[in-house]
Structure 1
Amino acid sequence: MLKSIKVRDYMTHHQVTFRSDTDLFLAIGRLLEHRINGAPVVDSQGHLIGMLSEADCLRGILSGAYYEEIGGSVANYMSTPLESVNPDVDIIDVCQRFLRENLEQLPVVESGALVGVISRRDVLRAVKAFAQHERDQPPEV
């Protein structure tokens, strides 16, 4: 059953992360390079302190253009407070949360430390894998 698939089975483990003092344009470059729409911001111990999304970057650029001071650090534009999820949560629960809260991704936190990121795309991969597995099973007699 799909509900038995956990976040930890499909989350991205080696995600792009930023520090709060990362230059905004460096962060934008990494988001573009990795073709992702956002990334966690962590402190020196790997604890989640924010998220930087494409929308945050656009707000930073627009704000900078208005005040004629484009740039700055990720800390000035990252989103807080944070939504996160435990790695043992069911994929279906995350899917419902994505739709209900209009989220595209969630950081995965265990014992206070960032351990991954789960995205809509990851949930789709889980559903596809489950559907493929179901199709490949012989019918019960």
Structure 2
Amino acid sequence: MVKSFQGVRVVEPKTRIQPILVKDHMSTKLVTFRPEHTIDQVMEELTKKRISGAPVVDASGALVGIISEVDCLKEIIKGKYTNTVRFPAKVEELMTKDVITLSPDISLFDAAQKFLDYQIRRFPVLKDGKLVGQISLSDVIRAFPTLKHTTW
């Protein structure tokens, strides 16, 4: 018969795991558009900044919509039928007005689920009704490889 003695064990205090939040991974230096901008201006800026969409804000800075490359395609197709290379439509005519937003204090896992549920590429982030950032599907994907498995 073999007896084993391990001695006194030292129990390490449990460290509190901090939640992984949207505010830690969202973009805060945003390109924004105004409703009166033209699609020409949007396409030029999206191309220059290498982004696929951006929030639309009014004169007071309140979020009123989202404009994306897909919205711009609608004007491009219309241009084919009118035989024009200019895209004078206003952002307010083509933007998505019914915008789904996220709070900066929700977990990145909850945000990931929202991306799956709604099948969209970006969410504006609002705090107390004010636009404070934007989180994209790419931001979420880039965040997870940098996290340690013990923080999940």
TM-score range, shorter chain: 0.7 to 0.9
Q: Per-residue CA shift, 1:114-134, capped at 9, x if unaligned?
A: 11100111111221111xx34
Return structure 1 stretches of 4+ with deviation > 6 angstroms.
none
Q: 1:121 aligns to what SS in structure 2?
A: helix
Q: Does 1:73 align with 2:97?
A: no
Q: Does 1:86 align with 2:103?
A: yes
1:18 to 1, 10, 33: 33
**What CA distance in whole angstroms lies between the structure 2 residues aligned with 1:2 and 1:79?**
37
Match of 2:119 in 1: 102
Contact 1:48 1:114 in 2 (8 A): yes
Contact 1:61 1:71 in 2 (8 A): no
Q: Does 1:122 align with 2:139?
A: yes
Give the number of aligned pairs.
134
Gaps spanning 5+ residues in structure 2: where? Answer: 1-15
Q: Does 1:113 align with 2:137?
A: no
- Deviation of the 1:108 alpha carbon: 0.5
1:36 to 51, 56, 63: 51
Q: Per-residue CA shift, 1:67-104, capped at 9, x if unaligned?
A: 55742211111111111101101100111111121111
Larger Rg: 2
| TM-score scaled by length of structure 2 | 0.80
CA RMSD, 1 decimal:
2.1
| TM-score scaled by length of structure 1 | 0.86
| Counterpart amino acid of residue 120 in structure 2 | L
Q: 2:146 aligns to what SS in structure 1?
A: helix
Q: Per-residue CA shift, 1:1-21, capped at 9, x if unaligned?
A: 998111100000001100001
**What CA distance in whole angstroms lies between the structure 1 residues aligned with 2:97 and 2:78?**
18
Cα 1:82–1:2 shift into 2, 3 Å: farther
